[in-house]
Amino acid sequence: DDEDGNEDAEGIISNDHTAAMISIVKKCSRVHSQLSTLISLKHNGISEFDLCRMILHILKLLSATVSIKEVEDTSKGDEKDDDVVMNDENIEKNKRQRIVSLQFDDVGYILTSGNSDNSDANNGKQKIEEKGLLSLDQLEEDLSLSFALPSPARESLLSVVTMILSKKGPLRPVSNSSLYPEEEEDIDDDKDSSCERNMLILNWRALLRMLLRTAPYLNEHKVGTAPSDSTYRQNSVLKRTVNLIRHSRRFFDQGLRPPSCSKDSEGKTPSSIDDRTARAIWDAVKSDLLYHTHSNSCFRAVIILYLFQPSRCTSKFYLEVMPFWMESWNSVDRCPEFDFLWLVMFCRARKYVEPGSYDWGPLRRRLLTQCGYWLQIPVGGVSADKSFPRASLPRSRGFPARLKSFVGSGSSYQEGIDFVSKVSKLVVFTVGKDDNSSMVSSELGSAAGGEGSMSSGAKDIL
């Protein structure tokens, strides 16, 4: 209410900075406790539009940065107190003035069907496009800024927004996985306001900047900032930031729009996915994945692809990029973390690729070849024949220790469980798939009255 707002302003303006920081941390913790209780209820009373506004507001606070500059004071003080002794030190202090400025990143906007202007959404979209056109020097300067909120407050707000985004049921209609029937465009204009459709669009570049400020060492050419918090709190903030990005992929802009929301150049509403965010992310990491596999750049690229690429893409996009995925995957051998991330990417792709449009044979054979190594199945023996010397096990390659936090596995046991889950999904999915050549021969054999040939998936298993 208004009284609390006045108290907040007075606390921040006061000279007691420690009390102001403590007040901010306490209020963030109070918001976390209140919303965690409210969101857990089946009928929480918070509308879809209000949830979207809360997400945008919290993300603005999380991405807020502060900059402090010292400038020369050009103001002239005509009236001065005679009792003040102006020595050289006081004169030097009066000549300089510290300016503290807060910057809020453009984290996204809300689109509403039936709203002809959508001025707020258009302004947000324009700011996001302008922010994405920064030069390299401007981007370096932007990433060097520190967060405005202290780490305990950011930790509480990260828990709040992750908890809201993890509830897929209430926010599914406003995500890029929502469905818009064609008949919805023919609804009469006399419909009530409850028929309006909202869509939440988050800026993936703003979340990437937040991640790079939290963990600058994701770029192998950068080092982390001087530690100001405990190691436990740093790891906690990083883990919650990673979870936030993973839950935000459903709200990245893929070109889908609610009906009667916005018109294109032909006067039509774009109601299909054009993969704009997925293509932008792939263009950013393609070079490192294909040509820099000798360095840690490929690890950084696959982490960004794993965290940011939306799952719902067109079959055409997946058919274009999956051959490059296999090429990059085959170029790095015996790296469990690298293999796990590619398993996750192919598990996402299998849900949206049209049946019969992709040859799953190379993926199936790689799965059957490597599953013994992934699942650590003991295979081997000792022979008395000295003509066959025992060779040492091949060396494996792994992620640097500081990059393992981005994969999301909490322990080695959980990592093994995740491997079993992903490998089993892809093996079961690809076993019944035929290669293109065997499909033709099988059809010809059946047409000629023969028994037909065995599927290539069954042959690989045998």
| Residue 349 forms part of a structural domain | yes
Percent of the chain whose predicted confidence (pLDDT) is above 90: 29
CB atoms under 10 Å from CB of 201, counted, come to 26
Going by pLDDT thresholds of 50, 70 and 90, the confidence category of residue 11 is very low
- Choose among 199, 214, 202: nearest CA to 106: 202
Same domain? 316 vs 255: no
Which residue range forms the structural domain that includes residue 344?
286-378+397-431
Please give the pLDDT value at position 140. 78
Please give the pLDDT value at position 329. 95
> What are the residues facing 70 on neighbouring strands?
98
Please give the pLDDT value at position 184. 46
Same domain? 117 vs 53: yes
Same domain? 297 vs 220: no
b/e map of 293-314 (b: 16 or more CB within 10 Å)?
Answer: beebbbbbbbbbbbbbbbbbbb
12-60 pLDDT, tens digit each: 444 567 777 788 888 888 888 877 777 777 666 788 888 999 999 999 9
Please give the pLDDT value at position 228. 78
| 187 pLDDT more than 50 | no
b/e map of 175-190 (b: 16 or more CB within 10 Å)?
Answer: bbbbebeeeeeeeeee
Average pLDDT estimate for 331-351: 92
> What are the residues facing 453 on neighbouring strands?
none
Please give the pLDDT value at position 136. 67
| 123 pLDDT more than 60 | no
Same domain? 415 vs 347: yes
**Selected residue with higher pLDDT from 167 and 440:** 167
| Residue 188 forms part of a structural domain | no
Provide the angle, in degrees to the nearest 10, between the axes of the packed helices 361-374 and 412-431: 150
| Residue 388 forms part of a structural domain | no
Same domain? 60 vs 115: yes
Same domain? 270 vs 346: no
User: Pick from 251, 274, 297: which residue ends a domain?
Assistant: 274
Same domain? 267 vs 154: yes
CA dihedral 445, 448, 451, 455 (to 10 degrees): 20
Q: Please state, in angstroms and rounded to a whole number, the distance separating the CA atoms of residues 322 and 335.
A: 19
Please give the pLDDT value at position 201. 94
Q: Please state, in angstroms and rounded to a whole number, the distance separating the CA atoms of residues 360 and 301.
A: 24
109-118 pLDDT, tens digit each: 998 876 545 5
| 243 pLDDT more than 90 | yes
419-436 pLDDT, tens digit each: 888 999 998 888 876 655
Same domain? 152 vs 207: yes
Mean pLDDT score of the chain: 77
**Selected residue with higher pLDDT from 83 and 246:** 246
| Residue 13 forms part of a structural domain | yes
User: Are the CB atoms for 330 and 370 separated by under 8 Å?
Assistant: no
| Residue 315 forms part of a structural domain | yes
| Residue 81 forms part of a structural domain | no
State the total domains in the chain.
Answer: 2
Same domain? 426 vs 374: yes
- Choose among 105, 305, 311, 114: nearest CA to 199: 114
**Per-range mean pLDDT, top range of 12-21, 24-33, 92-101, 343-352:** 343-352
Average pLDDT estimate for 437-446: 44
Please give the pLDDT value at position 208. 93
User: Pick from 274, 302, 320: which residue ends a domain?
Assistant: 274
Please give the pLDDT value at position 230. 84
Average pLDDT estimate for 53-80: 79
Same domain? 265 vs 315: no
| Residue 333 forms part of a structural domain | yes
- Choose among 202, 191, 200, 201: nearest CA to 114: 191
| Tokens 């949206």, located at residue | 352
Please give the pLDDT value at position 328. 95
**Per-range mean pLDDT, top range of 181-195, 267-281, 323-337, 370-384:** 323-337
| Tokens 């995740």, located at residue | 418
| Residue 461 forms part of a structural domain | no
Same domain? 367 vs 421: yes
Please give the pLDDT value at position 220. 75
Same domain? 155 vs 12: yes
SS3 labels along the chain: CHHHHHHHHHHHHCCCHHHHHHHHHHHHHHHHHHHHHHHCCCCCCCCHHHHHHHHHHHHHHHHCEEEEEEEECCCCCCCCCCCCCCCHHHHHHHHEEEEEEEECCCCEEEEECCCCCCHHHHHHHHHHHHHCCCCHHHHHHHHCCEECCCHHHHHHHHHHHHHHHHCHHHHHHHCCCCCCCHHHHHCCCCCCHHHCCEEEEECHHHHHHHHHHHCHHHCCCCCCCCCCCCHHHHHHHHHHHHHHHHHHHHHECCCCCCCCCCCCCCCCCCCCCCCHHHHHHHHHHHHHHHHCCCCCHHHHHHHHHHHHCCCCCCHHHHHHHHHHHHHHHHCCCCCHHHHHHHHHHHHHHCCCCCCCCCCCHHHHHHHHHHHHHHCCCCCCCCCCCCCCCCCCCCCCCCCCHHHHHHCCCCCHHHHHHHHHHHHHHHHHHHHCCCCHHHHHHHHHHHHCCCCCCCCHHHHHHC
| Tokens 């009255």, located at residue | 449
Please give the pLDDT value at position 410. 57
